[in-house]
Amino acid sequence: MESQKAVFDQRENDRSSVKDWIFAIIDPYSSGMVKILDVSRGGLAFHYVARPNEILLTKFPNFHIHIFDARDGNCLVKLPCKAVYDVEPAQECHEEPFKIRRCGVRFEKLLGFQTKQLKGFMRKYTIREIPPGIGVRPLSIRLERLFH
């Protein structure tokens, strides 16, 4: 599998950070919510908690994602996706039996209304564009804000 940097360099669209209360649910993956890290018109990246020997990319290469605002319940439902990469990011702590993984997905054949909803979502819930080659905030800071 390609390195995470190589995958980032191949992105066709600029990505933007999302507000901290934006989450997603992967369908049919049943391990709860995932934390969206960044989004673009072409796809998004997220962190998820994996069980031992569990990699979303190999388990569900094609799936639907439901994006929602945890504050007001607004959501985008059933966006078709294909996993592009699934890596274990560098971490300060490495607790067993669960591991945090980073997955990047590409949106697949969105319908007209889904494209319109995605554009509206990005206007309302993104913070700023992330220049190519710049990573997201450190994982430990994001997790601390998520669980405290």
- Please report, to the nearest 10 degrees, the dihedral formed by the alpha carbons of residues 143, 145, 3, 7 taken in order: 140
What is the average per-residue pLDDT within 58-80?
Answer: 86
Least confident of 4-8, 36-40, 104-108, 122-126: 4-8
Length of the chain: 148
Domain ranges of the chain: 4-135
For residue 137, pLDDT over 50 is answered with no
CA distance linking residue 77 with residue 64, whole number of Å: 8
Nearest to 73 by CA among 30, 107, 23: 23
Q: Do 36 and 45 meet the contact criterion of CB atoms below 8 Å apart?
A: yes
The highest-level CATH class for domain 4-135 is mainly beta
Three-state DSSP at 97 gives coil
Return the structure tokens found at 130.
């992330």
Of the two residues 85 and 145, the one the predictor is more confident about is: 85
| pLDDT computed for residue 106 by the predictor | 93
| Total-model pTM | 0.73
The residues near 94 (Cβ < 8 Å, ≥ 6 apart) are: none
pLDDT at 58: 72
Q: Are 42 and 80 in contact (CB under 8 A)?
A: no
Q: Which residues contact 107 (CB under 8 A, 6 or more apart)?
A: 41, 42, 43, 44, 79, 80, 81, 118
